[in-house]
Amino acid sequence: MNLDTPFRFGSFNWRNALSLSDGTSTVPDTITVKIPNDATPDPADSILVVRTVAGTYESALQWDTGINLPLLFRSSWKVTPSVGITNVTSGAFAVRNERTDGQWVLQGKRAAFGVSAAPTFFAFFRALVRSRGSATASPRFSPMPSRRPRPSPRSMPGPSPGRGAASSSRAIRPRRWA
């Protein structure tokens, strides 16, 4: 299920997108889990336990939002700065599956800054035309433009401050549903 909500406030454009997915699988799967080892004095010591489950499930919620700021250099460069909120790691913003014991696990968000430009430059290239007369007539330039190219690059990526991955990233894993 998807929900996109672009709102316009004056010259600001707020984009907001929500996506919810839910899936189950009846294919047996193995899951490796770390559990603390109480037999040793080291609290960081753990044991890897491999479990086999009859099926798996996963619910995921993705949320993206950001604001496009007012257009700059409207007559030539058409520059649009933007501020967005993105996930710290890849994958959905919130995940619920058997590895989280059915609880929703959220990952962090971070600010992302960007700029897009759609410049419009016009260039006139006058066609070289020979005058109608003798073959020895000198060439002249036509008053009419023959070409009007319009280069229009669309996007330039911006920096996004980095942060560490969420400690709950063990819950986020690509799935192939049967």
Residues 129-159 have pLDDT tens digits of 444 455 555 555 555 554 555 555 555 555 5
Contact 140, 127 (CB under 8 A): no
pLDDT digits (tens, 9 = 90+) for 53-99: 888 899 999 999 998 888 888 877 888 888 999 899 888 999 998 88
Q: Where does residue 45 rank: exposed (0-12), middle (13-18), buried (19+ CB within 10 A)? A: exposed
What is the predicted pLDDT for the residue at 127?
41
Contact 55, 25 (CB under 8 A): yes
pLDDT range class, residue 123, cuts 50, 70, 90: very low
CA 64 to chain centre: 8
Q: Which amino acid is at 45?
A: D
Residue 78 token pair:
């058409």
Q: What percent of the chain has pLDDT over 90?
A: 19
Contact 37, 45 (CB under 8 A): yes
What is the predicted pLDDT for the residue at 68?
85
Average pLDDT over residues 3-32: 89
Please name every residue paired with 22 in a beta bridge, in sequence order, or none if there are none.
Answer: 59
Contact 95, 58 (CB under 8 A): yes
Identify the residue with better confidence: 172 or 119. 119
E strand segments, the chain:
2-4, 7-9, 12-25, 29-36, 46-53, 56-68, 79-87, 94-97, 105-106, 109-117, 125-130, 139-147
Average pLDDT over residues 12-26: 92
Identify the residue with better confidence: 131 or 34. 34
Q: What percent of the chain has pLDDT over 70?
A: 67
Give the chain's mean pLDDT.
76
DSSP state of 50: E
Domain ranges of the chain: 2-171
pTM: 0.59
What is the predicted pLDDT for the residue at 131?
46
